[in-house]
Amino acid sequence: MRRPFRAALAGTVATLVLFGAADLIARAFGPPAAPLLALGQTIIPLAPTGLVKPVIDLFGTNDKLFLILTTGLGALVLGGLIGWLASQRLRLATALLCVAGLVPIIVILIRPESSVVDIIPTLIGLALGLAVFRLLMSFGTSRTETGTAPAAEPSRRRFFIITGIIGTAGAAAMAAGQTVAALTLDAGAAVAKLVLPKPATTAPPIPTSAHPDVKGLAPFLTDPKDFYRIDTALAPPVIDPQEWSLRIHGMVETEVTLTMDDLLGLPLDEHHITLTCVSNPVGGDLVGNATWLGYPVRELLRRANPNRDADMVLSHSIDGFSASTPIEALTDDRDSLLAVGMNGSPLPPEHGFPARLVVPGLYGFVSATKWVTELEVTRFDEKTAYWTDRGWDAKAPILVASRVEVPKPLAKVPAGDVSVAGTAWAQRSGIKRVDVKLDDGEWTSAELGDEVTIDTWRQWKTGFSDVDSGLHTVTVRAIDQDGNVQTPKRRKSIPNSATGHHHIQFSVE
């Protein structure tokens, strides 16, 4: 009989080799060929809402890493169970391992961004995994299973040495493979070369007075590599701009199709716009400000001539994501764009290359579709979107919010005068005032940086004199141009934005 523990370990290592080898070979093919990415991407839309919400709350922007680790761990556990079964029934376990290896192959084949050649890495990985499994299982063969005695029983020590070497090789292959490369993609690396035309309308210059001169305050424009990324794609889709197109259809008089050449041939506008994620916690960093280059969506919709009964545009991404945007937000005078550029360069792949939506005044999950390929004109009572199906609001207007950036939480500052600074936002209304208080003192108005547009954040600074040594708390609230005061009431981000006053503690020495 084979020893169950060794058999389970053999199954686990064989699975590690399968995925590690496939992932490494997938580097030569691209993200669609990576089996772990394909499995994880398939799991995302199937995950129940009751699981999605706590995962986002707990892991935030690390939710993709959590999913990959969970998927990989699940595969290793399954491999171990198959190995344990092999201690009793080797042929059945081998067959099950083959079936388990075929699952990611099938998943890769059915994904729209994949081709038949993308299964090659997983086929090779499966062959190597099976070979390793049979090799390690041969260490435990006894007379009762084969009818003949082995020439020599390999030592327990030799088994673990060989298993350790093979397992380390599998782990190293995984570390150098496509999944790690995709999850750690450099935001400055573009998928393809794309020459952007000069804007027909340029964004106004940003005055130095818009950014208070306080060390530690976030830049007025967010570098793309620091701009938050929240989406449902484990790896940014690889899209050839020459093969990309946008289809406008649904409740329209004329269906419209736009290629990248068509888009770049239009007079493109440049606008400074702040985007905010609905999952941003109070005081969080899931908000960013950038200069976007694109074409007004209202002009594209005017070509299609939407039906008067339509009240929503359902945007579709190439990765299967969808967002429900109120049609008035795409047809009124706000600067809603089909964007191709970000801060003077083509969109980075993880921010939507080659084209995405940018809609001021709405949280990103209903307005900022990346890798967009379709605009379906429809109605809220007829269609739903990816996140609205999971309990989030359908329209999601931006709420007034603010955060303290200086001092940093738990910072130690010298006694005397203490500088305080931060950022506030209320897209489509603009910030009228920011109030700050120290400990349980009175609210005092902060000095505001100049407003660039109502759709960008506004930075602020203030200070407190002769602050005594000890632990102190700074709290901030913002008031928008419509008179809405940021609420102190705490609530979670679901279904429509976290609320509450941001406060940080620091110590004076």
Write out the DSSP string of 181-221. Answer: HHHT--TT--SS--PPPPPSBPPPP--GGGS---TTPPPSS
pLDDT of residue 190: 41
Q: Where are the domains of the chain?
A: 4-183, 208-390, 401-508
Q: φ and ψ at 403, to 5 degrees?
A: -150, 155
pLDDT of residue 394: 87
3-state secondary structure 115-180: CHHHHHHHHHHHHHHHHHHHHHHHHHCCHHHHCCCCCCCCCHHHHHHHHHHHHHHHHHHHHCCHHH
* Ranges in the chain, pLDDT < 50: 1, 142-152, 186-191
Q: φ and ψ at 152, to 5 degrees?
A: -160, 135
Q: What's the half-sphere exposure (Cβ side, CA atoms, 13 Å) at 4?
A: 4
Q: Report the CATH fold assignment for 208-390.
A: Sulfite Oxidase; Chain A, domain 2 (3.90.420)
Full-model pTM: 0.77
- Exposed, middle or buried, 12 (CB in 10 Å: 0-12/13-18/19+)? buried
Residue with tokens 């360069």: 345
From 506, 459, 479, select the one nearest 218 (Cα to Cα).
459
The residues near 29 (Cβ < 8 Å, ≥ 6 apart) are: 117, 118, 120, 121, 178
pLDDT digits 0-9 by tens, 432-474: 999 999 999 999 999 999 999 999 999 999 999 999 999 999 9
From 286, 377, 247, select the one nearest 324 (Cα to Cα).
377
Structure tokens at 349: 């792949």
pLDDT of residue 193: 65
pLDDT of residue 87: 86
Q: Report the CATH fold assignment for 401-508.
A: Immunoglobulin-like (2.60.40)
What is the chain's length?
509
Instruction: Provide the greatest CA pair distance for the chain.
Output: 89
Q: How far is residue 249's CA from residue 253's CA, in Å, rounded to a whole number?
A: 9
H or E segment and range at residue 90: helix 90-110
pLDDT of residue 192: 53
